[in-house]
Amino acid sequence: MFGQTLYVQWKWNRDFLAFYTAVGFAAPLLILWIALPHLGLTSARELVSVGRVVGITSAVIAVVAGLTVAWHGYGIDDRVGHIYALSLPITRSRALGIRAGAAALILTLPALGVWVGASLAASQVDLPTTLHSYSGSLASRALLAAWLAHACMFALRYSAGRRAQLVLATLVICIGVLGFATEAVPSARGVIMRAGDFVISNPGPFGVLFGRWTLIDV
């Protein structure tokens, strides 16, 4: 059952996955190839800045890949009235569990692309002794970020169904209102800021997205 679901997921998403894997592979190389001739006599600080650009690009690729796989899978399913899922001799929960597992597996591809591209890029730079490359750590973060982004979109689409856009809009409005409240209701600022800090830092839900993303660091 898992193999069949994995194959279906792969068929649905292989174009996107190929694109994100290629971009994840090429981005570190391209960024360093563009940056290094301009850096010339490279200083450590400039290399760290370039590594940070590579890291942030990898994060964006991973998050978009995760969101796309979840959004696209549900979209195809929804267009045909979930016939495929309903035809399977298993419960809804089990079908979704298998689908999430399959998505998690195929999302390793963009992370692999990031890892190979970042490793190749780092090997071409003559790093000072004070700096290190973190291609493995960067790819691992990319994988975690892709899984998290996929899980968020997966939860939104399969929990809210056709009301997903409404729920998403409500969430965005709520975040905007909270942001506004930090200025409009000063007494609530402390609570909102603490809550925001928790959400975007480890061990909060989105700590992996807002942590440090860089290929080259001290």
Partner 1 sequence: MSSPRTLIAAIALAAATAVVSPLTAQSVRPNTDSLLDRIRVLDSAVIVRGRSVDSIRRSLVRPVPPIAVRRGALEVRTVAAVESRVRVAVDSVAGLIERRGGPELAARVALHAPMVLPDSSRAMFGMVRVLALVSDTARRSAPIARRPIPATATASQIADGLASMVEQFALQGVDSALAAWVMVGRVPLRAASATEAGNTYIELATTASAALRRCRDGDAPSCLDVLGIDSLPGTRLERWYAPDDYRALLGIVAPAREDSVAVTAWLKCRDDRDAAACVTAATALPNNRIPPPLSPAARVMFLHEVLTAGGPAAYGRLVNASGSVRTRLEHASREPLDTTVRRWRDRIERARPDRMRLQPGFVIASLGWTGAFLGLAVVRRRSWA
Does position 214 interact with partner 1 (CB under 8 A)? The reply is yes
Does position 174 interact with partner 1 (CB under 8 A)? The reply is no
Minimal distance, residue 204 CB to partner 1, in Å: 8
3-state secondary structure the chain: CHHHHHHHHHHHHHHHHHHHHHHHHHHHHHHHHHHHHHHCCCCHHHHHHHHHHHHHHHHHHHHHHHHHHHHHHHHHHHHCCCHHHHHCCCCHHHHHHHHHHHHHHHCHHHHHHHHHHHHHHHHCCCCCCCCEECHHHHHHHHHHHHHHHHHHHHHHHHHHHHHHHHHHHHHHHHHHHHHHHHHHCHHHHHHHHHHHHHHHCCCCCCHHHHCCCCCEEC
CA atoms within 13 A on the CB side of 34: 9
Neighbour count for residue 6 (Cβ, 10 Å): 17
Map residues 94-113 to x or -, x wherever contact with partner 1 holds by CB under 8 A: --xx--x-------------
The piece of 57-65, 111-119, 146-154, 169-177 that touches partner 1 (CB under 8 A) is 146-154
Minimal distance, residue 213 CB to partner 1, in Å: 9
Does position 72 interact with partner 1 (CB under 8 A)? The reply is no
Among 79, 87, 93, 126, binds partner 1 (CB under 8 A): 93
Among 124, 159, 165, 170, binds partner 1 (CB under 8 A): 159
Does position 190 interact with partner 1 (CB under 8 A)? The reply is yes
Does position 33 interact with partner 1 (CB under 8 A)? The reply is no
- The CA distances from residue 29 to 35, 121, 198, in Å, are 10, 5, 34
The piece of 20-28, 113-121, 135-143, 168-176 that touches partner 1 (CB under 8 A) is 135-143
Q: Which is nearer to partner 1, 16 or 97 (CB)?
A: 97
Which stretches of the chain bind partner 1, using CB under 8 A?
38-41, 43-46, 48, 77-78, 81-82, 85-86, 92-93, 96-97, 100, 130-131, 134, 137-138, 140-141, 144, 147-148, 151-152, 154-155, 157-159, 161-162, 183-187, 189-190, 202-208, 211-212, 214, 217-218
